[in-house]
Amino acid sequence: MEAAMIESDNGKFNNNSKSDKDKLDKGKSDKSEGKQELIVEESKSFLEWFRDEVPEIQSSLAAAQVLFECKNCGECCKGEGYALVTNEDLQRIADFSGKSASTIFSQFTDPDPEKREGCRILKNMGPERICCFYDARARRCKIHEGRPEICRTFPMLSIDVEQEEPISLYSDCRGTADLLKVLKAKAKGTEIQNEMKELQEDADRLATLRLMLFMRQLQIAGREDEAEHVRMLAGIRLPVDEVQFKKDCLAYVLLTLGEGP
List the chain pLDDT tens, one digit each, 261 residues. Answer: 333 333 334 444 344 555 555 544 555 455 556 667 777 899 999 999 999 999 998 999 999 999 999 988 898 999 888 899 999 999 999 999 999 999 999 999 999 999 999 999 999 999 999 999 999 899 899 999 999 999 999 888 876 666 656 666 677 889 998 999 999 999 989 999 999 999 999 999 999 999 999 999 999 999 999 999 999 999 999 899 999 999 999 999 999 888 766
pLDDT at 252: 95
- Opening angle at CA 144, ends 138 and 150, nearest 5: 120
pLDDT at 38: 77
pLDDT at 1: 37
Burial profile 84-105: b = 16 or more Cβ within 10 angstroms, e = fewer: bbbeebbebbbeeeeeeeeebb
List, for residues 193-251, the tens digit of each pLDDT value.
Answer: 999 999 999 999 999 999 999 999 999 999 999 999 999 999 999 899 999 999 999 99
| Side-chain half-sphere CA neighbours of 78 within 13 A | 17
Distance CA 87, CA 93 (A): 10
Helix, strand, coil percentages (3-state) for the chain, rounded to 5, are 55, 10, 35
Kindly report the number of other CB atoms within 10 A of residue 3's CB atom: 10
pLDDT at 158: 74
